Amino acid sequence: MNMNTKTIVTSIMLLFSATQIFAQSKYTISGTVSEKKNGETVIGASVYVKDNRSASVITHAYGFYSITLPEGKYQLIFTMVGYQNDTIEISLKANLQLNRPLTEKPKELSEVIIKSKKANDNLLKPQIGVEKLNVASIAKLPVIFGEKDILKTAQLLPGIKSAGEGNSGFFVRGGAADQNLILLDEAPVYNASHLLGFFSTFNSDALKDVTIIKGNSPAQYGGRLSSVMDVKMKDGNNKNFNVTGGIGLISSRVSVESPFAKEKGSFIVSGRRTYADLFLKLSEDNKENSMYFYDLNAKINYRINNKNRIFISGYLGRDVLALGKSFGVEWGNKTATVRWNSVINPKLFSNTSFIYSDYNYKMNFGTSSSETRMNSEIQDFNLKEELQFYLNSKNTLKLGFNSIRHKITPTRISGQNTSAPEKKGRLSLENAVFINNTWQATEKFTLDYGLRLSAYTILGGDTYNIYNNGVLMDSVVLASGKFGKTYLNVEPRIQFNYLLNEVSSIKGGYARNTQHLHLLSNSTSSSPTDQWIGDSYNIKPEISDQFSLGYSRNFRDNSYQTGVEIYYKTMKNQIDYKDGADINTVPDIESELLYGKGRAFGAEFLIKKLQGKLTGWIGYTLSKTERKINGINNNNWYNAKQDRTHDISVVGVYQLTPKWSISGVFVYGTGSAVTYPSGKYEVNGQTTFYYSERNGYRMPAYHRMDIGATYTKKKRNNRESSWNFSLYNVYGRENAYTISFADSETDPTKTVATQTSLFRWVPSVTYNFKF
Amino acid sequence: MHKIIFAGIVLMVLFTSCTKEIDINLNNASPQIVIEGHITNEAGPYSVKISKTVNFSEPNNYPPVSSASVVISDNTGIVDTLTETSPGLYKTSVLSGIPGRTYSLNVKVEGKNFNAISTLPQVVNLDSLAFELFTSSGNSAENSYLTLPVFTDPDSIGNAYQFIQTVNGKLDKTIFVLNDNTFNGLKNDQLLFNPDAEIKSGDTVSVEFRCIDQSTYAYFYTLSQINDGPFSITPTNPPNNITGSLALGIFTAHTVQKISQVVK
C-alpha cells in the first residue's frame, strides 16, 4: 500500500466514524421488536428515550434495533403507528437485550393507508424519495378483478407511474421499466407481472410491506438506475395456526401460517391461481385457448438462539397463454433466499444471504408435424453480506458486499426444422462492495452518505463481437473459465435532512447508480418475451446521476403530511434497437443496437391524511423525460415513451361504520408519447404511412375512477371475514389502449384512426376470510 | 414474428375490447418523393412508379411525379431508359429479369438524384400449400386454418422470402416475410400467421411467392412489425435501399411464383 492509498483509507475511516469520546461508561440496549399477535417482526418502529430526541433509533429490515446510552435510568418508548405505544423503565448498568412485542391498536384507530412509525417520521428520516406501503393497510382500496395488489397501489404515489393498462412494468422518475430493482426477500424479480400486467407477481397475502426508493438509494442497494422496490414477505405467525384466503371472481388464494417450534420457528405457505380460463372454455370461440397463472410463496424461519435466526423463502410463479392448437407461450419467475441473521454483539448485526433467481419464457409455434420453440432465460446466484454497526448514538454504519453470477440465455430458436446454431448462455459476475453511514450530526441535522463500488466482469464461454454502427469490426473469443472485460464504477451517494422546526424539514440528495443488465424492448408495451442482456464489449453500463431536493411540512398535529420534491436526473449509455432491427432471427442481437443518453426532471407533490375517519392522499407529478439516441429521430432529443407531463392520483378510504368502509381512487395522466403518421403513400398496392418525428404525439389523456366498499364481519371465535366490492372505471371512460391507422373499412379511398380501449365498468367481488 | 404471435394471443384471448373511429389532428408534412420499382423473373416490361406522399386526412390519391429521368441498368451492361406510359409510371423496354443479375436504378427528378441497387435472387420453388388447423370447434365447418407454404430453403444462407396471400380473391393485407437465418437448407415450417384470416374448409387460397434480397426483406420486415397491437414497434419509416437524396419506397428485384389451392 503506497502512501497515497493509506491517506485515502485513513480519511475514509475517519469519515465513517465521526465518533465522540466519552469518559462515562456506556452500555447498549439491543433486541427485536415484533407484533404481539403473530410474532412478525416490525420494520421501522421507533425506539427512543423519553425527553431525549437525539437518542432514537429505528428498527431495520429484520426488526432489530440497537441503542447505546450512558449508565443510568431511562424510560424507553417503542412506537409504531397502528400499534399501542410501549414504554418500559430500565436501569442501565450493563449491556441489555430487550425484545419487545407491540400490540396492534383497535381497528378504528389504525385505519391509515400509509403506516408510519411516528406521526412525523416523514420529517425525521434522512432518506429522500422513499415511500413505504403496508400490505394490511391497502386492503380496502378498490382494485381491478378484486385482487389487491401492492404494486398497483404503489403506482398511485407521485413519481411512480403505471405503464398503462395491460402493460407490465412501471416507470419511476422518467426511468424505463427495466431500471427498477424489484426485490422479493432480497431476490431480484425480473418480470413482476402476471397476465401482461393486470396482476403483479406479488400475492398480497404473503407480504409484509414494501419500500420504494425513487433513485436516492443508500449504498447497500445497486444495479438499477431508477428505483428500488423492496418487497418483504411475512415471516409466518409464530403464535397460532391460521388460514387466510380470498375467493374472487377470477382468482382465489389461500395462505397457511403456523408456528412449528414454540416461539422459535414458524412458516407461511401461500398460493394463488386464476380460473378465468375455465370461463373461457365455456365459450365456443375460446375452447382451445388457455390463459391462467398461478403463484406460490413459502417462507420458514427458525430462531436458533437469541442471537441467530435463519429464514428460507421461495417464490414460484408461472403464466400460461395458448391460442388454438399451434401457439403457446409461458413465462415465470422462481426465487429462493436463504438468510442468516446474526447479532454478533449488541452493536453489530449481520445479515448473510444466499439468493437464487430465475426468469424464463418459452414459446412454441409450428405445424402439426414440426414444432419450433423459442426461449430465453436469466439466472442468478447471489451472495450478499451486510453488516450493520451501531457505532454510537450518532452513527450507524452499514457495510458489506454482494456478488452475483448471472447466466443469460439470449432468445434462441430450436426445433426439428432449425438450422441456426444454438446461441450460448453468457456468464458474468456482478460484484459490489459498499459502505454507508447515517450520521445524526445534531438534533436537527442528519447526513446519510456512502459509497458503492460495482464491478461487472464478462466471463468466458462465448464469442463477443464488436460492432461499429452495426458493422462487425472485431471478435473476442473468450474461452470458458477466462475473464473478459471488467467495468468498474464508483457510485457515491449522499443525502441530508435538516429539521427546520417541529413541523417542517428540508431534504436533499445526490446519487449515482449504474446498471449492468438491460432489458431490450422494441415495442411500445413491454412483453414477457423481451430479453435481458448484460454489459458486453459494445454495451456499456448505464449510469445515472440524480439530484433531488424536498420540503415537507405537517399540519394539525401531524395528521396531514405534505411534501414537495424536485429532481433532475441524467442517464448515460441508454440502449435502443435500430430502426428495422430483426430481433428474432439475427445471429447476434448486439448488431441491432443503438446507444444514447437520457434526461429527466420533475416535481412531485403529495398531501396525505393519516388520521381520522377519512384517510388517503392526493399526489401530483409534473415531469419531463427525453432521450437522444444516435441513429434515431435524426439524432435529436425526443420524448421517451415513459414521458408523462401531468400525473394525478387521489386515493381515499372512509370508515362509514365499524363494519363498513368505502373507498375511491381517481387517476389522471397525460397520454404517453407516441409516433403518429405525418403522411401516407402506397407500396405494393397498400397504404403505407410516413413518419416525420419520433414520439411527437400524445395518446389521449388517461383518466379513470374506481370505487370500492368493504364489509368486515365481527370477529367471532377468532374468525374474521370480509366482503370487498369494487367497481373499476366507474364512469366508463374509454381509455385508449392502442390507436391504429389504416384504410377505412367502409371507404377504402380514405384512411382513418381507430382507437381500441379495454375495460369499462369492471365489477368484482371478493370474499376474504381468516381463521 | 413472435411479437405478432404474442399480440395475436393477447388480443384474442384476453380482451373484450371496443373500438371506435376517432379524429386526430395530425401535423401536415411537406410531400416526400416515393419510388417503387419491381424487376421480376417474369417477362417485362417492368415498371417504376414515382409519386408523392399526401397528408393523412386527404383521400388515398397519390400525386404522380412526371418528367423524371429513370434508367435501370444490369451488371451485364444492359442499360434501359424507361418511358413514362402514364403519369408517374415508367416502363422498361429492353431489360429482362434474370436470377443472379444485379439491377441499378437511377432517378433524376426535381433537381434530385436517387440511386438503388437490387439483386434478383435465384429461384426457389414453392412446392405446394398446406393448411394447418388453427382453431377448432365442435362443428368442423367452423374450423379455421393457417397456410403453410411448403418449400425447402437452399443450402446457402442469405435467402429471404415474401408471401402475398389472397383468400377467396380478397387480399390479406398482412405482410409476410421470412429469412433463412433459422432454417437454412431445411423445409419451411413457419405458418402465414394471421389470426384474423379465418380460412375455412372450401376456401380458395392463393399465395404469391417471392424470393427477395436482403434489403427488400429488411424493408418489409420493418413494415410487418408496425401493427395495430400493443406490441408494435415504435412506428418508423422502414430502412430502404434508395440512396442519394431521401426517398420513401423500395426498388426490388424478386422472383414470382403463384399457387392457388382449395382448403380441404
Domains by residue range for chain A, with CATH: 25-105 (2.60.40.1120), 130-770 (2.40.170.20)
CATH superfamily of B33-119: Immunoglobulins (2.60.40.10)
Is residue B157 within 8 Å of residue B233, measured between CB atoms? no
Would you state the pLDDT for residue A415?
77
Cell numbers 377468532 correspond to A718
- How far from the centroid of its chain's Cα atoms is residue B65's Cα? 22
Sort out which chain B residues have CB atoms less than 8 A from A285's CB and list them. Answer: 135, 137
Instruction: Count the residues in chain A.
Output: 771
Average pLDDT over residues B38-43: 93
Is residue A598 within 8 Å of residue A578, measured between CB atoms? no
Which of B182, B228, B240 is the mutation pick for testing A, counting most A CBs within 10 A? B182
Cell numbers 384470416 correspond to B197
Closest-CA distance, B193 to chain A, in angstroms, reads: 10
Position B208 pLDDT exceeds 90: yes
pLDDT in tens, A259-279: 988 778 999 999 999 886 666
Burial class (CB in 10 A: 0-12, 13-18, 19+), A635: exposed
What ipTM describes this predicted complex?
0.92
Sort out which chain B residues have CB atoms less than 8 A from A363's CB and list them. Answer: 2, 5-6
Sort out which chain A residues have CB atoms less than 8 A from B2's CB and list them. Answer: 363, 365, 374, 529, 584
Start and end residues for every CATH 2.60.40.10 domain found in chain B:
33-119
- Report residue A331 as a C-alpha cell: 413465462
For residue A427, list its beta bridge partners. A407
Would you state the pLDDT for residue A394?
84
Sort out which chain A residues have CB atoms less than 8 A from B20's CB and list them. Answer: 734, 754-755
Return the closest-CA partner of residue A336 out of A392, A379, A397.
A379
Q: Do B6 and A529 touch (CB under 8 A)?
A: yes
Sort out which chain B residues have CB atoms less than 8 A from A322's CB and list them. Answer: 9
Residue of A nearest to B15 (CA): A758
Answer CATH for B123-236+255-262 from 2.60.120, 2.60.40, 2.40.128, 1.10.357: 2.60.40
Measured between CB atoms, does A585 come within 8 Å of chain B? yes
Return the closest-CA partner of residue A601 out of A55, A215, A40, A120.
A215
What residues contact A563, with CB distance under 8 A and at least 6 apart? A122, A550, A551, A552, A553, A605, A606
Would you state the pLDDT for residue A8?
53
Q: Do B132 and A324 touch (CB under 8 A)?
A: no
Position B259 pLDDT exceeds 90: yes
Instruction: Count the residues in chain B.
Output: 264
Q: Do B6 and A329 touch (CB under 8 A)?
A: yes
Reduce the secondary structure of A58-82 to three states and give it as a string: ECCCCCEEEEEEECEEEEEEEECCC
Integer Cα distance of A243 and A156 in angstroms: 30
Element containing residue A13 per DSSP (H, E): helix A3-15
Sort out which chain B residues have CB atoms less than 8 A from A748's CB and list them. Answer: 60
- Report residue A41 as a C-alpha cell: 417482526
Return the closest-CA partner of residue A324 out of B198, B148, B176, B263.
B198
Closest-CA distance, B172 to chain A, in angstroms, reads: 11
Q: Is the peptide bond before B45 cis (omega within 30 degrees of 0)?
A: yes
pLDDT in tens, B76-130: 999 999 999 999 999 999 999 999 999 999 999 999 999 999 999 999 999 999 9
Sort out which chain A residues have CB atoms less than 8 A from B179's CB and list them. Answer: 582, 585
Measured between CB atoms, does A177 come within 8 Å of chain B? no
Task: For chain A, list residues with pLDDT below 70.
Answer: 1-24, 53-54, 106-121, 166-168, 276-288, 324-326, 524-526
Would you state the pLDDT for residue A307?
87
Helices B214-225, B2-9: axis angle to 10 degrees equals: 20
Is residue B12 classed as helix, strand or coil in its secondary structure?
A: helix
Is residue B53 within 8 Å of residue B26, measured between CB atoms? no
Which of A594, A678, A740 is the mutation pick for testing B, counting most B CBs within 10 A? A678
Integer Cα distance of A503 and A495 in angstroms: 20
Which of B50, B60, B65, B179 is the mutation pick for testing A, counting most A CBs within 10 A? B60
**What is the residue-averaged pLDDT of chain B?**
88
What residues contact A468, with CB distance under 8 A and at least 6 apart? none
> In 10 A of CB B223, how many CB atoms?
22
What's the sign of the alpha-carbon dihedral A407, A412, A418, A421? negative
Measured between CB atoms, does A756 come within 8 Å of chain B? yes
Phi/psi of residue B136, nearest 5 degrees: -125, 155
The secondary structure of residue A129, as a DSSP letter, is: S
Measured between CB atoms, does B141 come within 8 Å of chain A? no
Is residue A216 within 8 Å of residue A452, measured between CB atoms? no
Is residue A639 within 8 Å of residue A678, measured between CB atoms? no
Would you state the pLDDT for residue A281?
58
Cell numbers 393497510 correspond to A137
Measured between CB atoms, does A732 come within 8 Å of chain B? no
Q: Do A374 and B29 touch (CB under 8 A)?
A: no
Which of A370, A522, A683, A757 is the mutation pick for testing B, counting most B CBs within 10 A? A683
Measured between CB atoms, does B93 come within 8 Å of chain A? no
Name the amino acid, one letter, at A336.
Answer: A
Would you state the pLDDT for residue A425?
87
Question: Which residues of A, range 413-442, sit inside 8 Å of B by Cβ?
Answer: 413, 415-420
Q: Do A289 and B173 touch (CB under 8 A)?
A: no
Integer Cα distance of A298 and A313 in angstroms: 6
Element containing residue A448 per DSSP (H, E): strand A445-459
Closest-CA distance, A171 to chain B, in angstroms, reads: 17
Would you state the pLDDT for residue A626?
94
DSSP letters for A501-528: ETTEEEEEEEEEEEE-EEEE--BSS--T
Is residue B111 classed as helix, strand or coil in its secondary structure?
A: coil
Sort out which chain A residues have CB atoms less than 8 A from B186's CB and list them. Answer: 417-419
Is residue A246 within 8 Å of residue A230, measured between CB atoms? no
Sort out which chain B residues have CB atoms less than 8 A from A740's CB and list them. Answer: 227-228
> Nearest Cβ partner of B53 from A585, A680, A750?
A680
Is residue B219 within 8 Å of residue B226, measured between CB atoms? no
